[in-house]
Amino acid sequence: MFDAERAAAPDVCAGAAVPEVPDYLERVYWWAYLRPASIRIFDRAPVVSAILWGQYRRLSNMALARIAPGERVLQLACVYGDLSERIARQIGPSGTLDIVDVAPIQITNVRAKLAGYDRVRATVADAATLRVDQFDCVLSFFLLHELPDPLKRQVVDAALAAVAPGGRAVFVDYARPARWHPMRPVMAAVFTTLEPFAAAMWRTPIAALASRPQDFVWSRASHFAGLYQVVVAGRSGA
Ligand SMILES: C[S@@+](CC[C@H](N)C(=O)[O-])C[C@H]1O[C@@H](n2cnc3c(N)ncnc32)[C@H](O)[C@@H]1O
């Protein structure tokens, strides 16, 4: 992990107070993210792959395809699996990767996972209140569906605001699957029982969560018969 050498990198939480763990996270997702056992159980490749019905590799490849060597990347929230490590490799020796997460235990975990990479910085911060604007790529990988609806909007706006001219925000998340999708009733049941904020992803396009969608060029790829979406919002160059 580096710090001092990265004079050019923006400080993702300059001047901001270290946030409290939000109520929704403690109430709804404590079992997934906030206990040492959560990390021991879930931060394993077979578990991550199973949760995404075998699509983790394809979806992370789709995100990685949007990141070029040498870029300044901001990852909103830690993710289980090896995506962050693959981003750190992809940006190479001249890129930077900033990871923010509101849960200190997740930041401790990702720092341990990426200890060998000296152009990675992990910071406790709330993705909804970031005030930065200098990143070539801002990635939100399965974060939005875990946020209460007003926070989805704040995080999308913060992600877009963090994109430098010529850069892009990449959102990988759930979407409404085809009617015939065999996983559709299963996911509906999962959302009802475990993920109360996720069903909104079936109703609301990600671009519609932005306050000023017209400032970006949007593209959307649907994956796995619609259950997943990869949305890219590009800001035109300077
Ligand atoms: C990226 S999401 C889901 C990722 C997906 N389930 C996975 O692990 O691949 C999970 C992370 O989001 C973090 N998180 C939730 N709300 C956040 C917020 N407002 N700001 C930053 N991180 C947040 C949680 O602490 C957790 O580490």
Q: What is the DSSP letter of 45?
A: H
pLDDT at 60: 97
Render each residue's pLDDT in the chain as its tens digit; 238 residues: 444 344 344 577 665 667 899 999 999 999 999 999 999 999 999 999 999 999 999 999 999 999 999 999 999 999 999 999 999 999 999 999 999 999 999 999 999 999 999 999 999 999 999 999 899 999 999 999 999 999 999 999 999 999 999 999 999 999 999 999 999 999 999 999 999 999 999 999 999 999 999 999 999 999 999 999 999 999 998 6
User: Domain extents for the chain?
Assistant: 23-234
Q: Calculate how far, in angstroms, residue 100's C-alpha sits from the geometric centre of ligand 1.
A: 9
- By most ligand atoms within 8 Å of CB, the mutation choice from 33, 111, 145 for ligand 1 is 33
**Which residues have any ligand 1 atom within 6 Å of their CB?**
25, 33, 48, 77-81, 100-103, 106, 126-128, 141-143, 146-147
Q: Calculate how far, in angstroms, residue 193's C-alpha sits from the geometric centre of ligand 1.
A: 18
Spatial CA neighbour of 158 closest among 3, 7, 19: 19
Residue 210 phi/psi, 5-degree rounding, is -85, 140
Q: Tell me the CATH number for domain 23-234.
A: 3.40.50.150
pLDDT at 5: 41
**Closest-lying ligand 1 atom to the alpha carbon of residue 155:** 19
CA distance 108 to 212: 35
Spatial CA neighbour of 233 closest among 134, 128, 138: 138
pTM: 0.95
